[in-house]
Amino acid sequence: MKYLIDTANIGMIEKCNDLLPIAGVTSNPSIIKKEGKIDFFNHFKKIRQIIGSAKTLHMQILAQDSEGIIKEAHTILENVDKNVFIKVPATPQGLKAIRLLKQENIGVTATAVYTKTQGLMAMEAGADYIAPYFNRMENLDIDAADTIADFAEMIAVYGYETQILAASFKNIAQVNTAFKCGAQTATVAPDILLAAFAVPSIQKAVDDFDADWQETFGDISICDLK
């Protein structure tokens, strides 16, 4: 079970990478829009520098035809680094591109997955990750939990190496459901992840422990006791 963060915000990536056990960073053009007209390749090189080479970085192409997708993928790999996972929407053209990119041994994340067929075909095309859009599916009355459970079952039954990278969450309960249904990984906006720690009782518990210690030992810390 791995958490990735769905953001291109350098400050947030630094913060989450420092504090939380995250496994990587994902982005798409709508996420990049929030950062403005960034120095694209240098921005992502900086993200790679922050997260290091052991974590995964997923970047999306814009082209809609297989040839254009492959060209953009190579441009990203040449200008950021060879280990970037290329996010390709699971359209028919995208599926063709995924197959061809995998023949070159390039890491691929099939994205914009709303239906079972898209995900299953992306697995069959060799995608390393498939990204079902949990909240967007629920908005359309598509059963995201059932879809993810089916993907997990097919991966287990047929031995695909594809991992489910659940995405598009509006709250942490959806994230937990995705994991429960068998998603190995999930990419979550930092504010949703951090909100899970904003339950007032958590800080109150910490403050109560502190107050009890101080009542007992005053200003003496654990380190002072050695």
Residue whose CB is less far from ligand G3P, 168 or 185: 168
Q: Which of 87, 102, 170, 204 is catalytic?
A: 87
Site membership for ligand G3P, residue 168 (CB under 6 A): yes
Kindly state the smallest distance separating residue 7's Cβ from ligand G3P, in Å.
9
20 alpha-carbon distance from chain centroid: 14
Residue 82 annotated as catalytic: no
The overall longest dimension of the chain from CA atoms, in Å, is 70
Kindly state the smallest distance separating residue 175's Cβ from ligand G3P, in Å.
12
**Token match 């950062």: residue?**
35
Whether residue 106 contacts residue 118, with contact meaning beta carbons closer than 8 Å, is answered with no
Q: How far apart are CA 50 and CA 44, in angstroms?
A: 10
Say which DSSP state 207 is in: H
Binding mask 105-134 for ligand G3P (x = CB under 6 A): --------------------------x-x-
Instruction: Give the number of other Cβ atoms within 10 Å of residue 226's Cβ.
Output: 5
How many residues in the chain?
A: 226
Residue whose CB is less far from ligand G3P, 30 or 105: 30
Q: How far apart are CA 46 and CA 160, in angstroms?
A: 33
Which of residues 136, 142, 171, 196 is near ligand G3P by CB under 6 A? 136
Q: How far apart are CA 63 and CA 29, in angstroms?
A: 12
* # of chain residues touching ligand G3P (CB under 6 A): 12
Site membership for ligand G3P, residue 6 (CB under 6 A): yes
**Burial label, 31 (beta-carbon count in 10 A; 0-12, 13-18, 19+):** middle
Site membership for ligand G3P, residue 187 (CB under 6 A): yes
Which of residues 32, 88, 97, 167 is near ligand G3P by CB under 6 A? 167
Residues that bind ligand G3P (CB under 6 A): 6, 26, 28, 30-31, 131, 133, 135-136, 167-168, 187
Catalytic residues: 87
